[in-house]
Structure 1
Amino acid sequence: MKLRNILATTALVGAAFVATTASAQDPLKIGAAVYGLNAEFMQLWANAAENHPSVKDGSVDLTIFDGRYDALVQQEQFETMITQGYDAIVFVPIDIEAGATAVEEAHDAGIPVVGSNTQVNSDLLTSYVGSDDVEAGYLEAKAVLDDISCSGDVVIIEGPIGQSAQIQRGEGNEKAIAECGDGVSVVEQQTANWSRAEAQSLMENWLTAHGGDIKGVIAQNDEMALGAIEAIKAAGMNVSDFSIAGVDGVTDALEAVKRGDMHSILQDGQAQALGAIDVAIKAVNPDYEPTSGIWEKYPEMQWNNGESKQYNVPWTPVTADNVDALLKERQ
């Protein structure tokens, strides 16, 4: 009897040890809830996330959730992640206000949420890793306004109404326009929801209404700037007669900058994604040190032990001098 008891106890201890060891080696389960994957920029962001060193080595099990540009879809995805016991969530919201409920529910469930790329009005985020969209809006508008010497009619093509990038880039647009005084008139301003096709349709209507009076096109992302260019070409007009700018540095925009068709401000989605995952891992594992290289790439964005409430990835204006190098990085 004693031998059997000893063997039984040994088996139980061994099983417990195996279970504990297996548990210690289980990968962290992280979800990335992004607003939509139809356009290149968020595809670049998602691809970078999937290639984070901790995802590649198996220590993080990452799932990308396509929000399909719908706040309700993102809410449901959060509920799924909460139910399934995810360790952390990286959130790229479609709506600055609607996303706050999802963050609160995750927080109440003990799941840290790290924002990235677009913002949400919530004090419950562990941190935010993105870029200053007010600065981007200012830089793109100033490029257009400098071209037209602060004189003439311009149009503004906005992102989805209620998303932080639309709001903040709009603030930057307005700041640059205000610096011009009364010489610039905004004759049209409307959303095209980050869509090249929607922007093309808008621009076609505006060209019909205003003809060649439009001198500048301020598009709050590159996809919409490219749609405006297509509309100009379809109308038989010269792209060189307009000053056009966008934000993101997507591949087609880089090519358009190289041709001299537009201005673009590069948003480093790769750095945003990698940094957000680093911070999310740190929120779960206090001993973690970042494995991505973005902290060396942008030394001004200090790691600070993963404890900063906000990390701003710098913008890079695309120029004739750097466009070839940026295109090469995409190959």
Structure 2
Amino acid sequence: MSVNRRIALAAILGVSALAANAAQAADLRVAAIVQSLDTEFNVLWANAAERHPLVQDGTIELTILDGRMDPFNQSNQFDTAINEGYDAIIFIPVDINAGNDPVARAMEAGVPVIGSNTLISDTDLYQSYISSNDVVAGEMLARSVIERLDGEGNVVIVEGMIGQSAQVQRLEGIQKVLAEYPGINVVETRTANWSRAEALTLVENWLISNGGNIQGVIAENDEMAIGALEAVKAYGLDPANVPVAGVDGITDALLAVQRGEMMSTLQDANALAQGAIDLAAAAAQGDSYEPRAEIWDVNGGSLEWGDGTEQQYSVPWVPVTADNVDELLALREGA
């Protein structure tokens, strides 16, 4: 089944898609419970997971379920995955705390859970997890804007959905860097829920209420950064003079970097997704499993596999620059 068809099925039928796919023959069945399939990054993640060699050849049956940004919905999807006897679950939680209980239920039932991208607060509950350090992302975000301002000026912070690990940890990193720069004044901070449209409205209102006296925008993801950029331009300000930064490396952000209008840091959806598939298979099959994704050092990649039993695997961030943005866009087109 193609990724678009499988995602559409999961989005429409929710947990019942698990039962529908359970009849398919495969050596391993893995359920991936993601936050939402309404965001480009999660779709990039899902597409990358579907390209894993063992998913492509049918060895692993992968069912991708849309959590619809609802922790309760994700909890129900866990129960169905457990009851349907899936061999492993990959989890991208909506809420950093609400995700703990379903992971604990799965592990108690003998179904290993692999964390990917965003995380739960009690990471010890995972069999293993693969992520990028969001505190570091927050630090990179803040520094990219503050350095453009030479450490002086009014900035705003556009936060992600409150309670998600990326929001919590990226804010921590932002605040760590802000503490080093007394000349930076944070005039507004509020969530735009990872949404481009919400960020556009929010930053428009901030520019009006502050008389345009905002010199920089620190947005905790690229969708919100692009919304902020649109607001800055609509207000008549030059993006060259009002630095805007985001995280994820979605396509529109790469194009904006290419135009010199914003800054971004790429989160490697391919490594996060395909690495999670290998870790899920290793958890289900044991020590005999050999990873197939090209991200691992055993296959020519840079991420150390070891014996596949480490609890934490960290995927490095990739700052998007004028020097590498064309290459990153070309890779996106070929994915």
TM (norm. structure 2) is 0.89
Q: 1:230 Cα deviation (Å)?
A: 1.0
Q: What is aligned with 1:158?
A: 159
The separation in 2 between residues aligned to 1:161 and 1:61, in whole angstroms, is: 33
Name the CA shift for 1:91/1:298 in 2 (closer, same or farther; >3 Å). farther
2:86 aligned counterpart, secondary structure: coil
The separation in 1 between residues aligned to 2:144 and 2:223, in whole angstroms, is: 17
The separation in 2 between residues aligned to 1:300 and 1:275, in whole angstroms, is: 12
TM (norm. structure 1) is 0.90
Gapped runs of 5+ residues in structure 2?
1-24
1:153 aligned counterpart, secondary structure: strand
Contact 1:36 1:42 in 2 (8 A): yes
Pairing of 1:1-331 with structure 2 (within 5 A): 26-122=26-122, 123-180=124-181, 182-286=182-286, 287-296=288-297, 301-331=303-333
What letter corresponds to residue 226 of structure 1 in structure 2?
A: I
Q: 1:288 Cα deviation (Å)?
A: 1.0
The separation in 2 between residues aligned to 1:135 and 1:124, in whole angstroms, is: 23
Q: 1:121 Cα deviation (Å)?
A: 2.1
Gapped runs of 5+ residues in structure 1?
1-24
Contact 2:26 2:58 in 1 (8 A): no
1:157 aligned counterpart, secondary structure: strand
What letter corresponds to residue 301 of structure 1 in structure 2?
A: L
Q: 1:300 Cα deviation (Å)?
A: 5.1
Q: For each residue in 1:147-190, what CA deviation from the matched residue of structure 2 results, as whole angstroms up to 9, or x when unmatched?
A: 0011011000001101000011001111111111x201111111
| Identical pairs, percent | 55
Q: For each residue in 1:245-274, what CA deviation from the matched residue of structure 2 results, as whole angstroms up to 9, or x when unmatched?
A: 000011100010011111101100110000
Q: 1:108 Cα deviation (Å)?
A: 1.4
Q: 1:26 Cα deviation (Å)?
A: 3.8
What letter corresponds to residue 320 of structure 2 in structure 1?
A: V
Q: For each residue in 1:1-30, what CA deviation from the matched residue of structure 2 results, as whole angstroms up to 9, or x when unmatched?
A: xxxxxxxxxxxxxxxxxxxxxxxx842110
Q: 1:299 Cα deviation (Å)?
A: 5.3
The CA RMSD measured in Å over matched residues stands at 1.2
Q: 1:238 Cα deviation (Å)?
A: 2.1
Contact 1:112 1:126 in 2 (8 A): yes
Identify, as 1 or 2, the structure richer in helix.
1
What letter corresponds to residue 317 of structure 2 in structure 1?
A: W
The separation in 2 between residues aligned to 1:300 and 1:154, in whole angstroms, is: 36
Contact 2:294 2:301 in 1 (8 A): no
Q: 1:301 Cα deviation (Å)?
A: 2.8
Q: What is aligned with 2:12?
A: none
The separation in 2 between residues aligned to 1:236 and 1:262, in whole angstroms, is: 16
The separation in 1 between residues aligned to 2:265 and 2:248, in whole angstroms, is: 6
What letter corresponds to residue 241 of structure 1 in structure 2?
A: N
Q: For each residue in 1:200-252, what CA deviation from the matched residue of structure 2 results, as whole angstroms up to 9, or x when unmatched?
A: 01001101111221111000000000000111222233222201100001110
The separation in 2 between residues aligned to 1:173 and 1:121, in whole angstroms, is: 19
4+ residue runs over 4 A deviation: 297-300
What letter corresponds to residue 311 of structure 1 in structure 2?
A: Y
The separation in 2 between residues aligned to 1:125 and 1:236, in whole angstroms, is: 48
Q: 1:298 Cα deviation (Å)?
A: 8.2
Contact 1:44 1:270 in 2 (8 A): yes
Deviates more, 1:116-125 or 1:131-140: 116-125
Deviates more, 1:217-226 or 1:299-308: 299-308
1:30 aligned counterpart, secondary structure: strand
Contact 1:298 1:313 in 2 (8 A): no
The separation in 1 between residues aligned to 2:73 and 2:127, in whole angstroms, is: 22
2:65 aligned counterpart, secondary structure: strand
2:121 aligned counterpart, secondary structure: coil
Name the CA shift for 1:323/1:26 in 2 (closer, same or farther; >3 Å). closer
The separation in 2 between residues aligned to 1:298 and 1:168, in whole angstroms, is: 31
2:29 aligned counterpart, secondary structure: strand
Q: What is aligned with 1:11?
A: none
The separation in 2 between residues aligned to 1:311 and 1:298, in whole angstroms, is: 17
